[in-house]
Amino acid sequence: MNGAFQDGSPIFHQVEKRISDNIVSGKLTTDDQVPSTNQFAKHYQINPATAAKGINRLVDKGILYKKRGVGMFVASGARKKLVAERQQLFYEEFILPMLEEAEQLDISVEEVKKMIDGGI
Amino acid sequence: MIIQCEKVTKIKQGTSILKEFSWEISAPGIYAVLGPNGAGKTTMMQILAGLTSIDAGIVKVNGASPFENRKILSDICFIQESDNFKPTLTVGDVIKIVRPFYPDWEQELAEELLGQFQLPKKRRLKELSKGMSSALNMIIGIASRAALTIFDEPYIGMDAGARKHIYQVLLEDFMEHPRTILFSTHFIDETENLFESVCILKEGEKVFEEKISSLNERVLRIRGADKKVKGYAESGDVLHTSVFFDDTTAVVLFPSDNVPPVPKDLQTEKVSLQDFYIHYTDRMKEGEVQ
């Protein structure tokens, strides 16, 4: 998503989103290992408890699973869940703001549709 | 390291420096100690380090009173703003002096950090700049690996790059060797991410304490039409409001179990720990927060 979202959200959300993005884009698939809490903490220079919170939220949602003493892995069906979740938000977070802006700029819905079709 | 302060009161020259201060720490972590000057931060930390007695209440560090308690002192390292070593000593002398105090002292790390911060062992303390002395103090704090390590505004005179570097060292050493670290600072923006929890003092009292991650979830900056903002903020504590053009911006602290979903005609933004701290303690001036 856009940069503003990242800047404006707490860091544990950013950790959560970084992992989710990689699953949605297909870079991480079922049973792939994700970086550990400490790796995230080291990379972002944040307290490990903060990193753990982001990761644990994904565990709670069934996106990641824990293998004791080994690490965190992508659960099966993770992408499906995340995609469904984001599809629900797609209209509100992307289409609505676009239409609002278009309206302010006197761009009609027809013209917006044309842009989408023609890519201009 | 378990720390218990129960209604601790400290009086100096007829003035209460701490008033029934209570705080419990039961798990390792990096704890921010924030408060305006004169709030009692240093006194509170001196008490925990066994350097100062108390006038009322109970203080226990790992179950025992820390005041002049030799048994416990080897588990505590207190790094103050200004050092307590003779200026004629060399850097090497200081390391030799402090090393035997701490059973878990990590000499290799100390040596490595002295190198990184360009502190020659033969240099006398009086020849060090303020920033270099501060770096030396922080290196001692980190290398002590003491179960309770207290940093009281330890970075005076260090430049931005050196501060960033030492924060990184502290965080990474903490991850490898979790322990209880208290860190008082006025540079909240640059240290916020180090912390797991925050404790705010004001006029000798503890006025706020919370895990940063749960605080982040319930404090919001919201912007939009005045009525909408006020309506949304109703179930929370409004810490600060400002009006500009047609928009109202409010910093709101909601109860942890009741953060209402944000309506789509309002914009939200994360509130930094520094902003929260400023608005929270400012608002108390007006006597609105209990």
Q: Note the pLDDT of residue B264.
A: 81
The full length of chain A comes to 120
pLDDT per residue as tens digits for the range B41-58: 999 999 999 999 999 999
pLDDT greater than 50 at residue B290: no
Mean of the pLDDT values across residues B23-52? 95
Q: Strand runs (DSSP E) across A1-120, as ranges?
A: 33-34, 64-67, 71-74
| Minimum distance, in Å, between the CA of residue B112 and any CA atom of chain A | 19
Backbone angles phi, psi at B13, to 5 degrees: 45, 50
- Distance, in Å, from the CA atom of B227 to the CA atom of B253, rounded to the nearest integer, reads 18
CB pair distance less than 8 Å for A48 and B175? yes
Among the partner-chain residues A8, A46, A92, the one whose CB lies closest to the CB of B193 is A46
Mean of the pLDDT values across residues B260-277? 91
B64 DSSP assignment: B
CB pair distance less than 8 Å for A8 and B193? no
Name the band, by pLDDT with cuts 50, 70 and 90, for residue B83: low
CB pair distance less than 8 Å for B29 and A49? yes
Question: Does A62 contact chain B (CB < 8 Å)?
Answer: no
A119 DSSP assignment: -
Identify the weakest region by mean pLDDT among B38-42, B65-69, B142-146: B65-69
The residue written with tokens 């503003």 in the block is A4
Mutate which: B165, B268, B270, vs A, most A CBs within 10 A: B270
Q: Determine the 3-state secondary structure of B139 from DSSP.
A: helix
Note whether ipTM > 0.95 here.
Answer: no
Q: Note the pLDDT of residue A7.
A: 57
Question: Does B129 contact chain A (CB < 8 Å)?
Answer: no
Among the partner-chain residues A10, A42, A96, the one whose CB lies closest to the CB of B216 is A10
Question: Does B211 contact chain A (CB < 8 Å)?
Answer: yes
- Residue B213's closest chain A neighbor by CA? A50
Mean of the pLDDT values across residues B90-118? 96
Contact (CB, 8 A) for B179 and B148: yes
Average pLDDT of chain B? Answer: 93
B250: tokens are 């409010």
For chain A (120 residues), the mean pLDDT of every run of 10, in chain order, is: 49 92 96 94 92 94 94 96 94 91 95 85
Share of chain B above pLDDT 70, in %: 97
Query: Does the pTM exceed 0.90?
Result: no
